[in-house]
Amino acid sequence: MAPRTFLALAGAGFRRWSTYRQATIAAAFTNTVFGFLRTYVLLAAAAGAGGVAAGYDGPMLVAFVWLGQGLIGVVMLFGDSDLASRVRTGEVTADLLRPVDPLWSYLAADLGRAAHAMLTRFGLPVLTGAIVFDMFAPRHAGSYPLFAASVLAAVVVSFSFRYLTNLSAFWLLDHRGVANAWLLGSTLLSGLVFPIRFLPDWAQLTLWLATPFPAMAQAPLDVFVEYGGVSGQLLAIGNQLMWAAAGLALCRLAQRRALRRLVIQGG
């Protein structure tokens, strides 16, 4: 796909989401309320542990929670069902008639959406957390561009696996079950609810290597709080790149098979 087309589609994604102003505010508000809840829970855990829990001190946990709440909308951790409902209604044929691969056009639109969310959904919770609590700020200037790269990678990982769950509609038609199963991992095993470093080593390792979930939240959050220094940051981003590549490759494979068995519903 030509870069110009990609950018135009991303711009359209950005503009589409900028029209949902009220929904954006509503969602940012909800993320903020949950930010307070999660902060008190994790701070209580750190207090019980003597101030530091699994290598995170209070300010680090505060940053972890509030940036995590901000990233929900950016990474779209809760999933989406646009493509699946287009498959069910048969509207997906319109996507297939266009001279661009739907995988790339959906990715472009999703990056545009994420850029919009970064400017809106990310800001309110993070600002609230920084004002109300004592929040960690990176000690090295290099952590900011690394965080930006990590968020971008998280969006691509999340996009590719959301696309995959949506593609399941080609076989199942009703993809709600798959979407719910996805939600389970993307919320509880991604680091959103608690840092997965709270878990025993073997469980952490399994999650990083066998599931894409930590690559969507734990990784960018660890990059921001400089967990494990520069080498820790690079390791986290490396894991994300691996999952992004794997995710997109799986999407291509699944899409090719899905189109072979495409049946247009409705009339």
Partner 1 sequence: MVEGLQGRLGAYGRLTIAQVRSQAQYRVSFVMDVVASAAFALLDILSVLVLFLVTPSLGGFAPAEVLLVAGLAMVGFSTADLVTGNVERLRHYVRTGLLDAVLIRPLGVLPQLLAIDFAPRRLGRVAQSLLLLVIALSVVDVSWTPQRVLTAVLAPVVGTVFFGSLFVAGATVAFWWIESGEVANAFTYGGRDFTVYPVTIYAGWFRGLFAYGLGFAFVAYYPALVLLDRPDPLGAPEFVRWLGPVVAAVAAGLAWLAWRAGVRHYRSTGS
Using CB under 8 A as the criterion, what x/- string covers residues 45-84 for binding partner 1?
xxxxx---xx------------------------------
Q: Pick the closer one to partner 1 by CB: 26 or 119.
A: 26
Bridge-based pairing of strands 56-57 and 52-53 is antiparallel
40 binds partner 1 (CB under 8 A): yes
The answer to whether 42 touches 59, Cβ cutoff 8 Å, is: no
CB 132 → partner 1: shortest distance, Å? 9
150: its two tokens: 């990590």
116 binds partner 1 (CB under 8 A): no
20 binds partner 1 (CB under 8 A): yes
159: its two tokens: 């996009």
Residue 1: Cβ within 10 Å count: 14
Pick the stretch among 20-28, 100-108, 118-126, 213-221 that binds partner 1 (CB under 8 A).
Answer: 20-28
CB 123 → partner 1: shortest distance, Å? 17
Q: Which of 210, 224, 197 is nearest to 71 (CA)?
A: 224
180 binds partner 1 (CB under 8 A): yes
Identified binder of partner 1 from the candidate list 9, 13, 17, 27, rule CB under 8 A: 27
Q: Which DSSP state fits 100?
A: S
CB 246 → partner 1: shortest distance, Å? 22
The answer to whether 117 touches 73, Cβ cutoff 8 Å, is: yes
38: its two tokens: 């999660």
173 binds partner 1 (CB under 8 A): yes
CB 49 → partner 1: shortest distance, Å? 4
Q: Pick the closer one to partner 1 by CB: 185 or 232.
A: 185
CB 5 → partner 1: shortest distance, Å? 31
The answer to whether 177 touches 263, Cβ cutoff 8 Å, is: no
3 by Cβ neighbours in 10 Å (0-12 / 13-18 / 19+) ranks as: exposed
Q: Measured between alpha carbons, how far is 42 from 103 in angstroms, rounded to an integer? A: 38
Identified binder of partner 1 from the candidate list 15, 16, 26, 252, rule CB under 8 A: 26
- Residues whose CB is less than 8 angstroms from the CB of residue 245 and which lie 6 or more positions away in sequence, other chains included: none
178 binds partner 1 (CB under 8 A): yes
Identified binder of partner 1 from the candidate list 7, 15, 16, 37, rule CB under 8 A: 37
Pick the stretch among 95-103, 146-154, 195-203, 210-218 that binds partner 1 (CB under 8 A).
Answer: 195-203
Q: Strand, helix or coil at 10?
A: helix
Q: Measured between alpha carbons, how far is 11 from 8 in angstroms, rounded to an integer? A: 5
Name the site residues for partner 1 (rule: CB under 8 A).
20, 22-23, 26-27, 29-30, 33-34, 36-38, 40-49, 53-54, 172-178, 180-181, 183-184, 188, 193-194, 198-200
